[in-house]
Structure 1
């Protein structure tokens, strides 16, 4: 679930998140989401997003260089001409990039 939130471009509604995770049972999904909301996921007016602890978990589990992620978080708003040091795309506003590998 945290991975789905980390890769989302905006907060996800309950239904959007449930569909991305692939859990049909609404009650079961709500139970697990409520457990994550205690520490890792925050609920906003627009939906669900990663909280600070959730971001740290994703960052620790991914292959993103923590120094690059920290620099991105502390950098002023980027200009349209800047290139993201992680994904090499222009106009990238993501703080966390998740790269999955088959192991």
Structure 2
């Protein structure tokens, strides 16, 4: 389990508007976004500044994928916690299906924050 310093560090990463906008852009994307496309969608002109913030997010919430960047599991849970209806069947006008929680495996799990914030490669 992650120690309190790791959790504090992970939550500290979220304390920046640019980083939150990057997470939101990834959440709205249909698939991985390239560095350039993600930077444009987030509205950041300075490549170095954008790279700095994206690198911080990659420590906990974003992962590199074929073709660019996408939300990691913790990033998806952060977006869900910020707007619990975002990306749900109800918000998209469809019937919800009974998917199980990817963390605990329970159907209809309502625990938004029982995620492992420590990167899996540690």
Residue 30 in structure 1 maps to residue 35 in structure 2: no
Structure 1: which 4+ aligned runs deviate by more than 4 Å?
A: none
Q: TM-score, normalised by structure 2?
A: 0.55
Residue 54 in structure 1 maps to residue 75 in structure 2: yes
Matches within 5 A, 1:37-76: 37-64=58-85, 69=88
RMSD of aligned Cα (Å): 2.2
Q: How many residues align?
A: 74
- In structure 2, C-alpha distance between the alignment counterparts of 1:21 and 1:33, rounded to whole Å: 11
- In structure 2, C-alpha distance between the alignment counterparts of 1:46 and 1:5, rounded to whole Å: 13
The alpha carbon displacement at 1:63 in A equals 3.4
Gaps (5+ residues) in structure 2?
1-21, 95-122
